[in-house]
Structure 1
Amino acid sequence: MRARMYYAIIVLIVIALGLGSRAYGDFLPDYIAVNAGDVLWAAMIYYGIRALQGDRPLKSAIALSVLFCFAIECSQLYQSPWINAVRSTSLGGLVLGKGFLAVDLIRYSVGIAAACLIDRCCLMKARHS
């Protein structure tokens, strides 16, 4: 239960960082401003799955995160008035995106890998403490 709480707090921190990267992108280097939002979104998904899964293996969180992120991106290939109306809202755009970009799949992979690496390092440190 304690681990789930930590992951939930991390989700909130990553959300704040992601929203900040969008809101203050003009003050960031172009490379970071362009890529950070998607990388952080995927990291948030990973930590959210960890919060929901509890103490299941990291591989499970990685697989579910990749599956979820890739499914959301591929869903953007579907264009219909009703889903585009949802995507045109602030929350709908943040969750569902607006249009398919293959490069986003790379950004999601980087975000999940980075989140997993940080998670694994923290877990190893906690076990040795």
Structure 2
Amino acid sequence: MKNKRIVFLIVSFITIVTGLFIRLKKHWFPDIVNLYLGDILYAFMMFYIVSFCVPHKNIKARAVTALLICYCIETLQLYQADWITAVRQTIPGRLVLGSGFLWSDILAYSIGITAAFLFEKFMFFKGRPEDKNIS
């Protein structure tokens, strides 16, 4: 269990670094990549943060939990009180909370969670019998 948590933490960190790199070098990528890849990676990272926190849960439960967290954060962007708008104007606030609700972000989160689910299911812990049970 401890080894899985370390791997989940490493994958989360690599995903964060990749997302920040893409954000900083956005002129290197086509507009469509810049538009959706950040949100896809955000959801991918959220799956592995949830996995780090509850590694004993099955893969479906972790995926649904991560997806609900992403959806809640996106829906929270509809709330525009002064205090949360001020938080969103900081760099960490903007990276974590976003700035405005978009339906396309909901789709991107779904793609990111699906990618993380498939990555783990078929590649990540492929050979370990205890990780094949996804029911």
Q: TM-score range by the shorter chain?
A: over 0.9
Amino acid at match of 1:46: F
Query: Counterpart of 2:133?
Result: none
Match of 1:96 in 2: 97
TM-aligned CA deviation for residue 42 of structure 1: 0.5
- How do residues 40-119 of structure 1 correspond to structure 2 at under 5 angstroms? 40-119=41-120
Query: Once the 2 structures are TM-superposed, how far is the Cα of residue 127 of structure 1 from its aligned partner?
Result: 2.1
The CA distance in 1 between the partners of 2:48 and 2:74, in whole Å, is: 19
Identical amino acids, percent of aligned pairs = 38
TM-score under structure 2 normalisation?
A: 0.91
Match of 1:120 in 2: 121
Deviation at 1:102, TM superposition (A): 0.8
Q: Which deviates further from its counterpart, 75-84 or 25-34?
A: 25-34
Q: Provide the rounded CA distance (Å) in 2 between the counterparts of 1:3 and 1:126.
A: 13
Computed over aligned residues only, the root mean square deviation of the Cα atoms, in angstroms, reads 1.2
Query: Where does structure 2 lack aligned partners over 5 or more consecutive residues?
Result: 130-135
Counterpart AA for 1:82: W
Structure-2 separation of matches of 1:10 and 1:123: 10
Q: Residues 32-58 of structure 1, C-alpha deviation per residue, up to 9 Å, x if partnerless?
A: 111110000000000110111113101
Q: Identify the residue that residue 31 of structure 1 maps to in structure 2.
A: 32
State which drifts further: 72-81 or 115-124: 115-124
- Going from structure 1 to structure 2, the CA distance change for 1:13 and 1:123 (only over 3 Å counts) comes to closer
Residues 14-37 of structure 1 show CA distances to partners (whole Å, capped at 9, x for unaligned) of 000111111111101221111110
TM-score by length of 1: 0.95
Closer/same/farther in 2, CA of residues 74 and 6 from structure 1, 3 Å limit: same
- The residue number in structure 2 matching 1:3 is 4
**Comparing 64-73 with 25-34, which one deviates more in the overlay?**
25-34
Task: Answer 1 or 2: which has greater helix percent.
Answer: 1
User: For residues 21 and 89 of structure 2, what CA distance do their matches in structure 1 show?
Assistant: 20
Q: Any gaps of 5 or more consecutive residues in structure 1?
A: none
Give the partner amino acid of 2:70: C
